[in-house]
Chains A and B, each alone.
Chain A
């Protein structure tokens, strides 16, 4: 359980705001004749982050006064699903988007508790096939080149 670490949230937000301000300060400035009496490109994001820092201070005060409930750590299916997103990225980049969808859908079904392997396989194969047909034949959208799409598109 995360207890005192709840202060991690305002700390993270404060660091984020400072990083954005630091990056914004590095942005180019535009000549006076273009900007005129208006704002430089960096001004608005900096203004936003200053507002954010004020709100983060209020949030910290609220946490200090109200002692928010501890947040339980994530369970395996949640972390597992996030890891599967990474697997999907790798499979899409190195093989084919539809191979990625098939494998990730199958693994996700199993990870989320589907014990009937044939159901997981069927879901993982029929769904992307139907969606592909809909987008390709009806909506005329071409998918990125990969092992499978190269065979289909020729």
Chain B
């Protein structure tokens, strides 16, 4: 098994086509991450249709590379123009931009590049070891356990992103409801199709995701047409000095652990990881006063954590089929579209492909480090592309991408409709990621509930007699009600 894994990972290095693909995608990912508004999720949604004709490993490698490189690249604009290219880089602005304003933009970028690379590589290594172990545990799962696990995943939506727990849960339920559109799997009864037989097999994820992430972002960006971007001058990226390393190595290691752990939690992602990584860096620092004024520990804490979360988020995605973030939801769709069924099967029958994907992520981390060190200055200029040019291009890519998925115009209209729905949802404080995750998990939760009910002759409470299922349901309950219970206990103590 170990030798097979090493062999598969090494095969990536000797595959010139795949290496070239990762190289080009890393450039594309960094550009996507640098452009404000176009994060890893939107980028992956736009690129998904382009991967349809690719070999499965190549396709997932492209999506995973976009994920890691765009997550890193958000820090370039966070440091140089105080506008995080991705939400995961928001914490980097707290100290990155102040340091850049002091004339040390190159140093800030150097710290960000090294921290991101260490975080990314650390999480890929954890992914290589943790994923097969978790897959062995998941081998024991039956319908009640999968049902409970999916409920746990849905409960974690409460904290997936900004917007508030209740709004995120409403979004998640809407997503699950969307998954009920089409013919019901067991009985074949048509639900919410209104005579449209193109919806018989249900809503397809690709056009919906293009709408929710790319088109809705386009409409959100239409409000920023007057925004003037000012960039901080920078000569060249500087590698951290020995003293810098002495100051930040503990922070980087801590953030690697935090980021990977948070990434592994279903429905949590790089944004939450970077915020916690930053606040923990501050909590443990001897120079707390420097935070907010250009602390290199602050940059390292946020950047190591957000990139560490990328590998972590791939664990539940590939092993359990439960996405760790909006981007991994798209990667999950990529896996399904290419016939790679996430779960135990993937780790028993298609181990080689799995490790090739992990190897690709490893190489992507090294490539974005080189690009960050030697070409950050050039990439930063990309952020100055006028929105009036950039977003019409995104429109063209979105509609053609939605059409290309199945060659149906209905998919284009669905992408546009869900773009408008996503825009209004965001306008009223709802995040679109819970809708996407709900849509993916919807079928899983309903099917496993049906199977569980059949297993227990309709006695739903028997699900609670399964130890693992009970554990997941308790986690779900704590995830939903824990904050309320703990705040009530704290109030009572006072």
Query: Which residues from chain A sit less than 8 Å from chain B, CB to CB?
Result: 9, 13, 20, 23-24, 27-28, 30, 34-42, 44-45, 48-49, 51-52, 55-56, 58-59, 62, 68, 71, 74-75, 77-78, 80-82, 85, 88-89, 92, 97, 101, 104-106, 108-109, 112-114, 119-120, 123-124, 127-128, 131-132, 134-135, 138-144
Contact = CB atoms under 8 A, between A and B. Distances in A.
Given A85-B419, A108-B391, 19 more contacts: A27-B190, A35-B187, A36-B454, A37-B453, A38-B450, A38-B458, A40-B187, A52-B170, A52-B177, A55-B166, A56-B170, A59-B166, A85-B416, A92-B409, A104-B392, A109-B389, A112-B222, A112-B392, A124-B392
Contacts of A138: 53
A36 B404 CA distance: 41
Given A41-B187, A114-B388, A141 B407 contact: yes
Given A36-B454, A38-B450, A51-B173, A89 B416 contact: yes
B223 A82 contact: no
Given A58-B166, A78-B219, A44 B416 contact: no
B400 interface: yes
What secondary structure prevails in chain B residues at the interface with A?
A: helix
Question: Which 9 pairs show the lowest CB-CB distances between chains A and B?
Answer: A37-B458, A112-B388, A114-B388, A30-B187, A41-B189, A41-B184, A77-B222, A105-B392, A108-B392
Interface in B143-179: 164, 166-167, 169-170, 173-174, 176-177
A78 B186 contact: no
A55 B155 CA distance: 13
Contacts of A48: 173, 176-177, 180
B245 interface: no
Contacts of A119: 389
A75 B225 CA distance: 10
B141 interface: no
A78 B223 contact: yes
B226 interface: yes
Interface in B210-244: 218-219, 222-223, 225-226
A142 B174 CA distance: 33
Contacts, number: 163
Contacts of B186: 30, 34-35, 38, 41
B468 interface: no
A105 B393 CA distance: 7
Nearest to A140: B53
B102 to A, nearest CB: 33
Given A36-B454, A144-B403, A105 B395 contact: yes
Interface in B410-451: 412-413, 416, 419-420, 423, 427-429, 446, 449-451
Nearest to A126: B393
A125 to B, nearest CB: 11
10 contacts: A9-B428, A20-B177, A20-B192, A39-B450, A52-B170, A82-B420, A89-B413, A109-B388, A112-B222, A139-B53
Most chain A Cβ neighbours within 10 Å, of B225, B386, B396: B396
B168 to A, nearest CB: 10
Nearest to A16: B174
Given A81-B222, A85-B420, A112-B388, A49 B396 contact: no
B142 interface: no
A134 B396 CA distance: 13
B471 interface: no
Nearest to B429: A68
Contacts of A113: 225-226, 386-388
Contacts of B454: 36-38
A104 B404 CA distance: 19
Nearest to B453: A38
Contacts of B386: 113-114
A123 B392 CA distance: 8
Nearest to A86: B416
B393 A127 contact: yes
A59 B446 contact: no
Contact of A45 (B53, B166, B177, B222): B177
A105 B400 CA distance: 13
A108 B189 contact: no
B399 interface: yes
Contacts of A140: 53
A89 B391 CA distance: 18
A37 B446 CA distance: 14
A44 B223 contact: no
Contacts of A144: 403, 409
Contacts of A45: 177, 180, 191-192
Contacts of B420: 82, 85
B484 to A, nearest CB: 11
A55 B173 contact: yes
B397 interface: yes
B228 to A, nearest CB: 12
B46 to A, nearest CB: 11
A139 B50 contact: yes
A147 B386 CA distance: 32
A52 B392 contact: no
Interface in B317-360: none
A26 to B, nearest CB: 10
Contacts of B55: none
Nearest to A35: B187
B395 A104 contact: yes
B138 interface: no
Most chain A Cβ neighbours within 10 Å, of B50, B187, B428: B187
